[in-house]
Amino acid sequence: MAGLTLHWGSGGTEGAVNRIKKVKRQLYGRAGFELLRKMILLR
């Protein structure tokens, strides 16, 4: 309902979350939290 009635959306936030999930899938089982953190901060 909010998507049809309000003038703003959460597209930017959802894009950032999607990017983080993609990086997590790429690194799954290969690296620890520090490498994941660096990859997210560098993008």
Sequence spans of domains, the chain: 12-42
Phi and psi at 13, nearest 5°, equal -65, -45
Residue 11 · residue 24 · CB < 8 Å: no
Residue 40 DSSP code = H
Count Cα neighbours of 34 within 13 Å in the Cβ-side half-sphere. Answer: 0
Q: What is the pLDDT of residues 1-43, one digit of tens each?
A: 666 787 777 778 888 888 888 877 777 767 677 777 787 787 7
**pLDDT value of residue 2:** 66
What confidence score (pLDDT) does residue 3 get? 66
Identity of residue 18: N
Output the pTM of the full model. Answer: 0.49
